[in-house]
Amino acid sequence: MGSLPHKHLTLNPLDHFPPSNYTFFCSYLPLKDGVTPDDVVEVLHEGLRRTFKQLPWLSGKVHLQSSSAPGWRPGQLEVRYSEADFDQGVPLRQLSVKHLDPEEVGMSYEDLKESGFPLDVFEDEQLTARELLPRYEDAPDCFSAQANFMDGACLLVVATQHAVCDGTSYFDVWKIFADHCEHLQRPGSPWPDAPLADSVDRTLLDRIWAAEGTGRSTSEAKAESWSLLDLPVPGSPPLEAAESLKTLADTAMQSAVFYVSPEKFAALQRHCAAGVPADTALPISSNDALGALIWRCLSRARRRAALEGKRPAASAGDAKRLAAGEARLFMTVDARPDISPSMMPMLYLGNLFFVNICSAPLAELTAEGAPLGPVAQAIRAVNGRATREALLDAYMLAHECPDLDAIRLHRGHTPGSFDMVLSSLLMFPVEGVRFGGRVFANGGLPDAVRPLMRRFNRASQVCFVLPRKPFGGVEFVCNLYEDEMQLLLEDEEFAAWCMHYSF
């Protein structure tokens, strides 16, 4: 079986848009009494093997495509995989096992739970051997998992390579893996249904564009479509050069988890909606309102720290932005609901996101006592420009790009800047994800899901709005330098809505 040839899957233009990073999340899974790590590994291994049977490309590696391949262009990526790699009885290289040293951890699982599953207990390297920023020349795996055991629990880290999965499809893959593990623990239960063919078809976006595109050429595309790819409109001044997400900074930020109760989450939306004139108001969502609060208060902490000389040295461009008073918010946009209601399936496993960029005068954005509603409305106005027409033309721009390296998202990732990236995973239904009740407690429902942030703290100023809690509350994770974080915790406007949960 090991002699089966490798298959080659050419990735589409939007798969070249994200940086080369892995997406890491850790599921905190309590074990049933009497269950051993070997019992858990047996389930995880077979569940992953079944996942690969349904999604064989997920077992592969991301490669730079040979220039001799049909249709090749500079920067072109592909996945290479062999179905022999996940044949029955073959150990899976993508699943690692580690037994955490209790003395190194310094606290029990119950202590972790009571502390709100803090982010600073573990170094990322303790929970996964994968690099945050692999080189495509080194052919990184599409999928990686590591089961980390402590007394009474498994801390399961699942990672996907960003070239094959965006944030939405990361959680879809995570759920497929969990579903297989859950079905394994119910004797006689059939396999979960496989995704539809279109859900895993890397040519689907080409077909949608060919059938439903606007017919515009690159020279005819409107500014909003260029902006969705963070590319300059031809003939306009070049975008400010930015450090790409390729290296890790020497100075690390601090990350923290915050919580917004269901009552305050609803009240925040009403508060923002009431803060703008009714005759000019756009319909502000709860996501817009939370994004406005996060953007304002984190920017305020950064600006205050800079003005007080507490901020690590930033680039010349960042100092200029402080003087000129500009702040930028890079928001990921999931295009699945809007790009093609007729051809896009409910599930699409690949990259189908763009970025919306909201700019505001820094002093105005962070002013004490200023209403929050106009900030939320500005976010809503920018998000509203991501129409179906604009999305289709943005895909056209990526499709027609002669060098795919040119569309890779580089901006918004400099740790010392006044930019930030906001990625909302609010709508993903985590309460429906269970890893099975034979070996896991709570029917396999994770006690918590957390991103691994230690290496992100040296790579990018980022905020993840986590999937909504079953009872309606919202958690989010953000990072700031230590002095900035202290200023955030002292911010009365922020504290009125958000509770600090853990570091």
Q: DSSP string of 305-355? A: HHHTT-SPP--HHHHHHHHHTEEEEEEEEE-TTTS-TTT--S---S--EEE
Residues 224 and 156 in one domain: no
Share of the chain above pLDDT 90, in %: 80
Beta-carbon contacts of residue 366 (< 8 Å; ≥ 6 apart): 296, 299, 300, 303, 304, 327
Which pLDDT tens digit goes with each residue over 419-461? Answer: 899 999 988 878 789 999 999 999 999 999 999 999 889 888 8
For the segment 479-490, the average pLDDT, to the nearest whole number, is 97
- pLDDT per residue as tens digits for the range 166-222: 999 999 999 999 999 999 999 888 899 999 999 999 999 999 999 999 999 999 999
Check whether residue 21 and residue 163 sit in a common domain.
yes
What is the reported pLDDT for 415?
Answer: 65
pLDDT for residue 418 is more than 90? no
Helix (H, G, I), strand (E, B) or coil at 430: helix
pLDDT of 106 reads 93
CA distance 326 to 322: 7
CATH of the domain at 49: 3.30.559.10
Are 285 and 397 part of one and the same domain? yes
Domain identity same for 222 and 111: no
Q: Report pLDDT for 281.
A: 64
Q: How far is CA 415 from the centre of its chain?
A: 17
CA distances, 199 to each of 6, 17, 166, 244, 287 (Å): 22, 19, 14, 30, 27
Residue 174 CB-half CA count within 13 A: 29
Determine the pLDDT at residue 371: 95
Q: Most distant CA pair in the chain: distance in Å?
A: 68
Give a yes or no: residue 269 inside a domain: yes
In a domain, 211, yes or no: no
Looking at the fold, whether 191 and 334 belong to one and the same domain comes out as no
Bin 411: left if φ > 0, else alpha if -120 < ψ < 50, else beta.
beta
Higher pLDDT, 190 or 39: 39
Could you tell me if residue 468 is inside a domain? yes
Q: In degrees, to the nearest 5, what angle opens at C-alpha 203 toward C-alphas 77 and 220?
A: 90
| pLDDT over 80 at 246, yes or no | no
Residue 1: predicted pLDDT: 44
- 240 found inside a domain: no
Same domain for 16 and 95 = yes
In a domain, 392, yes or no: yes
**Cα–Cα distance measured from residue 85 to residue 303, given in angstroms and rounded to the nearest whole number:** 51
Question: Which of 61-70, 187-196, 304-313 has the weakest average pLDDT?
Answer: 304-313
Least confident of 47-56, 139-148, 151-160, 401-410: 401-410
What domain range is 186 assigned to? 7-200
Residue 214 to residue 80: CA distance in whole angstroms: 33
- In a domain, residue 242? The reply is no
Domain identity same for 355 and 409: yes
Same domain for 191 and 224, yes or no, is no
Pairing mode, strands 326-334 and 419-424: parallel
Residue 445 belongs to some domain of the structure: no
The average confidence (pLDDT) of the chain is 92
From 208, 214, 245, 212, select the one nearest 230 (Cα to Cα): 245
Q: Report DSSP state, residue 436.
A: -
Do the domain assignments include residue 71? yes
d(CA 294, CA 289) in angstroms, rounded, equals 9
Same domain, 222 and 103: no
Q: Which pLDDT does position 187 carry in this prediction?
A: 86
- Residue 315: the pLDDT is 55
Structure tokens at 406: 């040119």
Is 398:4 a contact under the CB 8 Å cutoff?
A: no
Confidence of residue 244 (pLDDT cuts 50, 70, 90): very low
pLDDT in tens, 321-371: 565 678 999 999 999 999 999 999 999 999 999 999 999 999 999 999 999
* pLDDT at position 232 over 70: yes
- Domain co-membership, 196 together with 265: no
Q: Based on the structure, what is the number of domains in the chain?
A: 2
pLDDT (tens digit per residue) in 78-102: 999 998 888 888 899 999 999 999 9
* pTM of this structure: 0.94
pLDDT bin (cut points 50, 70, 90) of residue 279 is confident
Q: Is residue 112 located within the same domain as residue 56?
A: yes
Q: Are residues 222 and 196 in the same domain?
A: no
